[in-house]
Structure 1
Amino acid sequence: MEEAARAGRTLLGKRLLVTGGSRGIGRGIVLAAARAGADVVTCYRTPGEAVASLEQELARTPGKHQVVRADAADPAEVNRLVAECEASLDGLDAVVNNAGSFLPRPYAELEPEEWDATLRGNLTAAHLVTRRTLPLLGAGSSIVNIGSTVAFLGMAGGVHYTAVKSALVGMTRSLARELGPQGIRVNTVSPGRIATEALDEQPAEAAERERRMFSSFTALGRLGTVDDIARTVLFLVSDHAAYITGQNIHVDGCV
């Protein structure tokens, strides 16, 4: 029984930082990594039930886990977050840049402050966290940026979001080349439409209509799950992906 349990703990001994880990895809990555044996630090911006329940789940999961309130787009708060990682984990083996959000807006109505907020929250945040964590990463470590398939498909009402996610792919490719000589790998995971709690929070009829519509776009005939993304991220930060870097991996069911 013990041998079987250990066999499933593919990240045993790994130390991860996952930004934006209290909800959705980020939460799925945090919990999957912890259950796979990693020690995990994550952050959130807004307190609430999601944070409290995540702390409870992590408390029941073996390992050193910490949930920190910090805005990944704020340099001072990123410094504090990474200092927490250094103090509690004494280094990092992987960074997952997941934090990010946007509000849909027709391009003709897109105000400069909305453009700037989307840039800061999705791209600048990844830059700040990556730059600050570099001294904690060594040979064999990994950075995973969470992108989106909209960067390649386009999205009406999401020009600002599409632009920053496209930039993230370029950032990944260049960082992979620059950090490769240090043995640090950098990849992007680009989810398609994923069923998260945000979908469940919609009125039942609207949620079902959205599920049917987006499922019909995929070759597999279903929405993606948080676990679909988490498993891909865990593979990329594991030793099984030791020769994979500079890639953008679409996890979208073939849209």
Structure 2
Amino acid sequence: MDLELKGKKALVTGGTRGVGRGVVLALARAGVDVVTCYRTESEQVASLEQALKETGGDHHVVRADVADPGQIPGLLRTAGERYGHLDIVVNNAGAISHIPYGELPLEEWQRILATNVTGAHLVVQHALPLLRAGSSVISIGSKAVEAGIPLRAHYTASKAAIAGLSRSLAREFGGRGIRFNVLALGVIETENFHALPEAQRDLMTERYSAKTALGRLGLPEEVAGAVLWLASDLSRYVTGSTVSVDGGIN
């Protein structure tokens, strides 16, 4: 199916690994020109650049840490200079850690919120001059907001904040024809998941697969499919929503 995305312009934060990488490549293959960013140099940066080169299109992989407020204006300036406007913004960059709440240092609370909430807020705020009627802003959330996860209170709080931010922005900018939605993810098989010790990985696969209606974990390209839908006119009457991409997890 042609989603009529060819020629559209997108910014995806944290796009060199995991879910973000799947989203970047799916958008590029659909004909979207993509700017994405990364925090540190790695093999994934070079391999994504090569994959985008082979895909074709006007793509740019730039270094920018969205946890650092000082680096966000330059990221959006790059997108503006390259494209002049943005049709799609995907707030994907995120941080997570697992710490008992009673032992959670203030610095770690602030680190998680700086990346997951403040970073997304500043990306959207600086993107506003580039957005226009029909633009779609998609933020990557988590089913943890509904379920609650021990040792992740700070992460869960940050993802709940993203859902509230998106709903409020949907109301504020709906008159301009700009849509804001959240994808609430279940457990997705990414590089970090596969880097776990085999025993732990097998245990998590068995445990979380059993909680889903589909009996398996998700893949980055399946998240990307939901992004493509929210980026397209097929979802033009969808805004302020949280869409679950979780395999029917309970």
Same fold (TM over 0.5): yes
The structure whose RCO (Cα within 8 Å, separation 6+) is larger is 2
Q: Confirm or deny: 8 A CA contact 2:3 2:232 kept in the other structure.
A: no
Q: Distance in 1 between matches of 2:4 and 2:197?
A: 38
2:10 corresponds to which residue? 16
Unaligned stretches of 5+ residues in structure 2? none
Q: Distance in 2 between matches of 1:201 and 1:119?
A: 25
The answer to whether residue 83 in structure 2 is matched with residue 89 in structure 1 is yes
Describe the superposition over 1:110-151 as per-residue Cα deviations: whole angstroms up to 9, x where unpaired.
011111111101000000000000000000101001100001
Picking from 183, 203, 227, the partner of 1:209 is 203
Q: Say whether the 8 Å CA contact 1:12–1:37 is kept in structure 2.
A: yes
2:40 paired residue number = 46
Which residue, out of 30, 36, 52, partners 1:36? 30
- 1:191–1:251 CA contact under 8 A, matched in 2: yes
Q: Quote the offset at 1:8 in angstroms.
A: 4.4
Instruction: From 134, 139, 143, give the equivalent of 2:133.
Output: 139
TM-score (norm 2): 0.97
Query: Is contact 1:187-1:245 (8 Å) kept?
Result: yes
Shift of 1:74: 2.0
Decide whether the 8 Å contact of 2:179 with 2:240 is kept in 1: yes
1:148 alignment counterpart: 142
CA RMSD of superposed structures (Å): 1.0
1:240 — aligned with what?
A: 234
Identify the range of structure 1 (168-177 vs 194-203) with the bigger mean alpha-carbon deviation: 194-203
SS in 2 for 1:224: coil
Question: How much has 1:215 moved relative to structure 2?
Answer: 0.3
Query: Deviation per CA, 1:179-236, whole angstroms, max 9, x where unpaired?
Result: 1000100000011011111121223333222211110110110001111110001100
Q: Which residue of 2 is the match for residue 4 of structure 1?
A: none
**Other structure's SS at 1:190 match:** strand
Structure 2 residue aligned with 1:68, among 62, 67, 75? 62
Q: Percent identity?
A: 50
Could you tell me whether the CA contact under 8 Å between 1:24 and 1:226 is conserved in 2?
A: yes
- Partners of 2:67 and 2:9 lie apart in 1 by 22
TM-score (norm 1): 0.95
2-side partners of 1:121 and 1:216: how far apart? 31
Contact 1:218 1:254 in 2 (8 A): yes
- Determine helix, strand or coil for the equivalent of 1:228: helix
Moved more, 75-84 or 136-145: 75-84
How far 1:9 sits from its partner (Å)?
A: 6.3
